[in-house]
Amino acid sequence: MDSKSKLPIRHGSAHLAVVLMVLLVVGLVVAVVASQKITNLRPKATESPVTHIISPTPPLSDWLKNRSFEEDSNRDEIPDFWRKSKTLTKSDRRTSVANQDGNYSMLINGQSGTSKSLLQTLSGSWKPGAQFYLSGWVKTGKGQGGKLSIAVKARYAGGKQETFALDFSSKGPVEWTYRAGTLTLPKAAQEITIGLVVKDHVGAVYFDNIYFDSTYTPGDSAKFESALTPDDSITSSLSE
């Protein structure tokens, strides 16, 4: 075979080499693109979320509700979220006659030899040393004697109860008076009841803007007074 007859074969080999080179390059490009797509499909690493724990429980949104007695959805003259003791009568009611905050207050007409109260109970899990802030406003008509209080009854694990009171002057008439204090639980508690108590007092008593929480909001009240001390003389008054 002469040299002229071999030229087409050389030409065909060169053409085949070029085609193979192009296919190799295309294959590499496809492989790189596919690799990038697979990488993008993998979950991206994210930072661990920051968890804010509020202690004690329950969370703040579940603390004392309707503390200015503005809500009465069933129009029974007893503020929503509160319940009355059996000794309350129709004359003891939510009223617009006097108010310190908003349009309403809670009126309790005291009677000699009788203990009346309006109650709200919170359930949770509080450790020994848990601190609370209690405050409120009271206005009295002509009257005297007995005991006027915003009280806290703690039910400890095992069922034992202890009551702490924020007392107001029982000799009226007295315009809106503000008092506040702190409470530190000596034991673990599972239930706390807030009570507006009028015991053995003759005359009208108005309560408004009751505050109870584990934090202090400066806009709600002025400086808090000294720590509350136990007062079991009204424990029975914080029952229905």
What digits encode the pLDDT tens for the residues 39-94?
454 444 433 332 222 233 434 444 889 999 999 999 999 999 999 999 999 999 99
- Predicted pLDDT at 229: 84
What digits encode the pLDDT tens for the residues 93-126?
999 999 999 999 999 999 999 999 999 999 999 9
State yes or no: pLDDT of 169 exceeds 50.
yes
State yes or no: pLDDT of 137 exceeds 90.
yes
- Percentage of the chain with pLDDT > 90? 54
- Predicted pLDDT at 92: 98
Q: When comparing pLDDT for 113 and 216, which is higher?
A: 113
Question: Which are the contacts of 80, defined by CB distance < 8 A and separation ≥ 6?
Answer: 65, 66, 71, 72, 73, 74
- The band of 2, judged by pLDDT with boundaries at 50, 70 and 90, is very low
Instruction: Name the superfamily (CATH) of residues 60-238.
Output: Galactose-binding domain-like (2.60.120.260)
- Predicted pLDDT at 234: 87
Q: When comparing pLDDT for 216 and 101, which is higher?
A: 101
- The band of 235, judged by pLDDT with boundaries at 50, 70 and 90, is confident
What digits encode the pLDDT tens for the residues 28-49?
655 555 555 544 544 444 333 3
Q: Would you list the domain boundaries of the chain? A: 1-46, 60-238
Q: Other CB atoms closer than 10 Å to residue 17's CB: what's the count?
A: 10
Mean pLDDT of the chain: 80
- Predicted pLDDT at 12: 55
The pLDDT of 145-161, averaged and rounded, is: 93
